[in-house]
Chain A
Amino acid sequence: MGWGAFRAQFRRAVCLSTEGTPTRQAAYCEGIVSDRPHDIRQVSDCVWELPRTGGMHVPGRVYADERLMPHIRGEKSLDQVANVAHLGGIVRYSLAMPDIHWGYGFPIGGVAATDPSAGGVVSPGGVGYDINCGVRLIASGLTHEDIRDRVADLTKALFRAVPCGVGSSGAIGKLGKSELKDVMSEGASWAVKKGFGTDADLDHTEERGCLSAADPSHVGPRAIKRGLDQVGTLGSGNHFIELGVVDKIFDERAAKTFGLTENGVTLMIHSGSRGLGYQVCDDYLEVMQDAVRKYDIRLPDRQLSCAPVESPEGKRYLAAMACAANYAWANRQVMTALAQRAVASVLGGSEQSLGLRLVYDVCHNIAKLERHEVDGKMKTLCVHRKGATRAFPAGHDDVPGSYRAVGQPVLVPGDMGTHSYVCVGTDAAMTETFGSMCHGAGRVMSRTKARKAAAGRKLVDELSGMGVFVMATGKGTLAEEMPSAYKNVSDVVDVMDRAGIARKVVRLRPLGVIKG
């Protein structure tokens, strides 16, 4: 069965009851319907505005097109865009990227910048539990022809090399508490010091893989206990390692700058801060419950609990969040080395001789203090990205020197059956979205529905028929993550491209995938 037929078949199963015909638009009508009417208006080709009402401090803005809007209108994510607009000190808009879907607190795909000098708040709900969940892309000197007959062997080797699944542990042996504090303070560079990767990897990691605000003394004992044995582990849910190939180039110059060539083999890793990050979020949500009372903050959703960035509670959260973010970067750095070694062991040769090197690493669940222009003045803002990726343009100081002429690579994974994209940030992203764009395809079907739709199907065989070799720890994960549970990533990326927020650089096609 071809990919189109596969997708249509799943969509038919879930859409007939609502739309009758299994069109793409019908598929985007899944979800829980909001009981709050929203007067959302199209203001340009790909931008929709949610007017300021009630306690909203600013309007909402959603990047989407006619194909994506029915689903967005049909679930509670617009309620969440409106809720985020209630945050104290929010600047310009409560933003949502085209992969927007119903989350908790913020919508997934939500971006909000607050101004600390005007009482702006930081909200753990705007970062999420998996702090610094993110993606990294590794390029190689290999072509598809070089590994055509080795995809299954390579995927199996990756599956053996990187522990995955719920609560996975034991990739590199249990750390001591003192060493874990080094991980939280140093991030990816801790991993490099321990022999996992090279300094060049740090150059190609957002923030060089370390937020300097990290202060382990603000991380609680439970988070530390949970973090001791999970460095170098993938986890579960939508986390994955994907062996892929560049199958289309849109921007030759940027692709060349990033070292990506047509038919070139790639590895993509998606994971975050594991149990340590979840616990930091849990702990600080309780701190923020008290802060909301202390600072008399009014919010429409308790999950948005927050404190002023400049308050003791806000500063402590940002210091602890930075520890979890650094843990996540160390985690992805260790996994990168384990994955590269696995590839080298299957193919023979070394990581160097196979040309394996990190293209870039981006985080998509984070709150960061960044400089942005507001009404003609440069200001330090607290930019929350909840399922959104930084997308800085050419010439920006925070883009690595080797990429500065073209801009920051933005990694946008799709579902495990279709494509992923590498894009590049633009000047428009800086003026419109605080240098942010989408982070993935965005779910369209609930996990429950996906499991029901997958019942009785042999997903592994069907994906194999599409040329994707898949291995997963849990059957449930594979069902929940099946391709038709997601929007079409090409539709999502096209909106960002048409809106001028980002440019497409290359498209990747999966060959082998491991899931938790």
Chain B
Amino acid sequence: MTERPDYKEIEHTADVGLELEAPDLKAAFELAAASMFDLMCDLDGVGDGVRRTVRIRARDADLENMMVRWLTELLYVFESERLLLSCFDVTKLESGLIEADVTGERYDPGRHALKTEIKAATYHDLAVDQTRGVWLVRVIFDS
């Protein structure tokens, strides 16, 4: 991620949330991921030396469901591999399938300042909607 993602932090009393606009659906997924990691850690100091391919298959999943699964998958990558992700390239996005190349850097407590722990992406108040050609994404996280 070369630029800090442009998103609005939602004033949720207990947790954190984000709202963003994207020109297309692929960008909506990429920006949501980048914004989630930006909530967790300042992305400016995160490199892109480690690359992973992420694949999510979910039959019967709608867009909202796919968004939660996508963010959940990336949180799992962070938790299980201690990988802070900063760059997201969705290479395939179709009904029930997302494939993406993601890059980042192993978390180093000496260099990376974590801001907020995100436990999960929730379905509460979730939105992945298209209005007048713009995609709006809203996600509340358990933090």
A129 to B118, CA, bound (A): 11
Cβ-defined contact, B14 with A103, below 8 A: yes
Once A101-B13, A101-B14, A225-B80 are accepted as A-B contacts, the answer to whether A447 and B143 lie under 8 Å apart by CB is: yes
Interface size for B (C-beta < 8 A) is 36
Once A167-B79, A305-B123 are accepted as A-B contacts, the answer to whether A102 and B13 lie under 8 Å apart by CB is: yes
Interface-forming stretch among A15-23, A274-282, A329-337, A461-469?
A274-282
Whether a CB of chain B sits under 8 angstroms from the CB of A13 is no
Contacts of A314 in B (CB 8 A): none
Interface residues of B in 96-143 (CB under 8 A from A): 107, 109, 113-117, 119-120, 122-126, 140, 142-143
Whether a CB of chain B sits under 8 angstroms from the CB of A219 is no
Whether a CB of chain A sits under 8 angstroms from the CB of B89 is no
Contacts of B12 in A (CB 8 A): 32, 102, 446-447
Which residue of B13, B14, B15, B114 contacts A474 across the interface (Cβ within 8 Å)? B114
Contacts of B122 in A (CB 8 A): 104-105, 303
Contacts of A275 in B (CB 8 A): 79
Cβ-defined contact, B13 with A476, below 8 A: no
A130 to B69, CA, bound (A): 18
Which residue of B11, B65, B116 contacts A449 across the interface (Cβ within 8 Å)? B11
A101 to B14, CA, bound (A): 7
Contacts of A105 in B (CB 8 A): 122-124
Whether a CB of chain B sits under 8 angstroms from the CB of A180 is no
Which residue of B64, B65, B76, B117 contacts A235 across the interface (Cβ within 8 Å)? B117
A482 to B79, CA, bound (A): 26
Interface residues of A in 435-486 (CB under 8 A from B): 443-449, 474-477, 480
Once A32-B12, A281-B120 are accepted as A-B contacts, the answer to whether A165 and B80 lie under 8 Å apart by CB is: no
Cβ-defined contact, B116 with A476, below 8 A: yes
A443 to B140, CA, bound (A): 16
Minimum Cβ distance to chain B for residue A21 (Å): 22
Whether a CB of chain B sits under 8 angstroms from the CB of A222 is yes
Minimum Cβ distance to chain B for residue A134 (Å): 16
Whether a CB of chain B sits under 8 angstroms from the CB of A285 is yes
Which residue of A129, A475, A480 contacts B119 across the interface (Cβ within 8 Å)? A129
Cβ-defined contact, B13 with A443, below 8 A: yes
A480 to B116, CA, bound (A): 9
Cβ-defined contact, A301 with B123, below 8 A: yes
A225 to B11, CA, bound (A): 33
Cβ-defined contact, B11 with A31, below 8 A: yes
Cβ-defined contact, A165 with B14, below 8 A: no
Interface residues of A in 290-325 (CB under 8 A from B): 290, 301-303, 305
A114 to B25, CA, bound (A): 40
Cβ-defined contact, A446 with B124, below 8 A: no
Cβ-defined contact, A474 with B115, below 8 A: yes
Q: Which residue among B13, B78, B79, B143 has the maximum number of chain A CB atoms within 10 Å of its CB? A: B13
The residue of chain B having its C-beta at the shortest distance from the C-beta of A288 within the complex is B123
Contacts of A266 in B (CB 8 A): none
Whether a CB of chain B sits under 8 angstroms from the CB of A489 is no
Interface residues of A in 59-110 (CB under 8 A from B): 75, 77, 101-105, 108
Contacts of A480 in B (CB 8 A): 116
Once A222-B76, A282-B72 are accepted as A-B contacts, the answer to whether A166 and B117 lie under 8 Å apart by CB is: yes
Cβ-defined contact, B15 with A302, below 8 A: no
The residue of chain B having its C-beta at the shortest distance from the C-beta of A281 within the complex is B120
Whether a CB of chain A sits under 8 angstroms from the CB of B16 is yes
A319 to B60, CA, bound (A): 26
Cβ-defined contact, B143 with A226, below 8 A: no
Contacts of A446 in B (CB 8 A): 11-13, 16
Contacts of B52 in A (CB 8 A): none
Cβ-defined contact, A447 with B116, below 8 A: yes
Whether a CB of chain B sits under 8 angstroms from the CB of A119 is no
Whether a CB of chain A sits under 8 angstroms from the CB of B51 is no
Once A302-B64, A302-B126 are accepted as A-B contacts, the answer to whether A475 and B11 lie under 8 Å apart by CB is: no
A75 to B10, CA, bound (A): 13
Once A105-B122, A476-B116, A516-B117 are accepted as A-B contacts, the answer to whether A237 and B9 lie under 8 Å apart by CB is: no
Cβ-defined contact, B120 with A475, below 8 A: no
Whether a CB of chain B sits under 8 angstroms from the CB of A198 is no
Minimum Cβ distance to chain A for residue B46 (Å): 14
Cβ-defined contact, B124 with A165, below 8 A: no
A502 to B113, CA, bound (A): 42
A285 to B14, CA, bound (A): 20
A285 to B72, CA, bound (A): 12
The residue of chain A having its C-beta at the shortest distance from the C-beta of B123 within the complex is A302
A275 to B85, CA, bound (A): 18
Whether a CB of chain A sits under 8 angstroms from the CB of B82 is yes
Contacts of A448 in B (CB 8 A): 9-11, 16
A130 to B118, CA, bound (A): 11
Cβ-defined contact, A130 with B117, below 8 A: no
A474 to B40, CA, bound (A): 11
Cβ-defined contact, B13 with A237, below 8 A: no
Known interface pairs A166-B117, A305-B123; 13 further A-B residue pairs with C-beta atoms within 8 A, sorted by A's residue number? A75-B13, A102-B14, A103-B14, A103-B124, A104-B122, A105-B122, A166-B40, A226-B80, A278-B120, A290-B60, A445-B13, A446-B13, A476-B116
Chain B residues near A (Cβ < 8 Å): 9-16, 40, 60, 64-65, 69, 72, 76, 78-80, 82, 107, 109, 113-117, 119-120, 122-126, 140, 142-143
What are 13 A-B residue pairs whose CB atoms fall within 8 Å in the complex? A32-B11, A102-B14, A104-B15, A125-B124, A129-B119, A130-B142, A237-B117, A278-B120, A279-B76, A281-B120, A301-B123, A443-B13, A447-B15
